[in-house]
Structure 1
Amino acid sequence: MSETRAALIVIDMQNGFINDRSRGVISKIVELVEHWEATGRPVVFTRYHNYPGSPFERLIHWSSVQHPPETDIVPELAQHASRARAVIDKKIYSYFSPEGAALAEEEGWTDLVFCGVATESCVLKSAVDAFERDVTPWLVTDACASHGGQAAHDAGLLVARRFIGAGQLIKIDDIGVKL
């Protein structure tokens, strides 16, 4: 087996996606990021930006996360984002915006480890897109949440098992063993 080149991708940990149903994941993601940083491996944050007339606004009737402070990374992770390998601004669900895709390609990452918000949308879509690009996705189940609540989070995990394989869903404690 060739050497694994892995990066941690922290998806959309922004004020606009944090509520009572998702707030509890912040401390878990801080723990994961600090552990990952200690290994010297790269961390990348994504930051979603909605915009007037976007498909989210037109079709889903959702117009949030268009301006600060909603677009800002949560305070607990802001310092980590400031020293990350990159902060990818995107207008789509996936990490694989043109900038994110180019970075993964340039760095030659073989594995991407996903955490963040929301499990059933941006985290799931990013993991599936990695899979379809022949990059091994890992979804850290205890470092993901949904601002839509537990049922949405669980639905995302159910679909992820089918899309990327049950073995790709791991917990924070599994990272040292699998990666």
Structure 2
Amino acid sequence: MSGPVLLLIDVQRGFVSARTEHAVQRIRDLLDCPFGTVVATRFVNVPGSPYRELMGWTGMSSPPDTDLLDFVEERADAVIEKHLYTAVGGRLLALLQERGAGTVYIAGFDTDCCILKNAEDLFERGIPCRVLMHYTASNGGPASEDAARTVLMRSIGSAGVIDGPIGPSDI
């Protein structure tokens, strides 16, 4: 059993902005906790994606925007590239099963998009997860983060949403 898993969602250069930079050091500090496995996702907005086709958004298409922050790249036991909001699919599910994963703790960017979608997808598969709100941020700003908290409380339950900092003894 690998125990608790930290799923770092899209902690990439292109998602760090004035609205999210406060979470970078928090995420770095979170890596001091005793997670059995650390999985990072890397979002790449590929040609033909719904983001391009339906929203007209072409950002996050190539390095350096798509590069993981150095400390994430160094610490991750696995990196999963994704082209949609969620990473919950064959590769991640196989990795969680292979490692005998316990609870999946989620941190990263953006709380109201990818974090929300991944938490709901894990929940729907019966995988216990906790969104670490203190270690997430959104380029939509505080209003988007608050909206995500409200939706998460309803969709995965209050036990799945953790506010405030945590330490090694909380894992």
Same fold (TM over 0.5): yes
Partner of 2:154: 162
Name the SS for the 1:172 alignment partner: coil
* Contact persistence 1:109–1:135 (CA under 8 A): no
TM-score, scaled to structure 2 = 0.92
2:38 to 16, 40, 43: 43
Partner of 2:165: 172
| Alpha-carbon distance, 1:84 to partner | 1.8
Taking the aligned partners of 2:138 and 2:3, their CA distance within structure 1 comes to 28
More helix by share: 1
Name the SS for the 1:88 alignment partner: strand
Give the CA RMSD over aligned residues.
1.7
Which amino acid in the other structure matches residue 166 of structure 2? D
| Alpha-carbon distance, 1:82 to partner | 2.6
Taking the aligned partners of 1:155 and 1:163, their CA distance within structure 2 comes to 12
Taking the aligned partners of 1:105 and 1:129, their CA distance within structure 2 comes to 16
* Contact persistence 1:118–1:145 (CA under 8 A): yes
Taking the aligned partners of 2:35 and 2:133, their CA distance within structure 1 comes to 22
Unaligned stretches of 5+ in structure 2? none
Identity across the alignment (%)? 34
2:17 is the alignment partner of 1:5: no
Which amino acid in the other structure matches residue 143 of structure 2? A
Unaligned stretches of 5+ in structure 1? none
Which amino acid in the other structure matches residue 150 of structure 1? P
Partner of 2:64: 69
How do 1:36-115 residues align onto structure 2 when only pairs under 5 Å count? 36=33, 39=34, 41-74=36-69, 78-115=70-107
Moved over 6 A (4+): none
Which amino acid in the other structure matches residue 51 of structure 1? V
Taking the aligned partners of 1:23 and 1:81, their CA distance within structure 2 comes to 17
* Contact persistence 1:4–1:111 (CA under 8 A): no
| Alpha-carbon distance, 1:40 to partner | 5.6
Partner of 1:32: 30
Name the SS for the 2:79 alignment partner: strand
| Alpha-carbon distance, 1:4 to partner | 8.4
Partner of 2:117: 125
Partner of 1:139: 131
TM-score, scaled to structure 1 = 0.88
The count of corresponding residues between Structure 1 and Structure 2 is 170
| Alpha-carbon distance, 1:145 to partner | 0.3
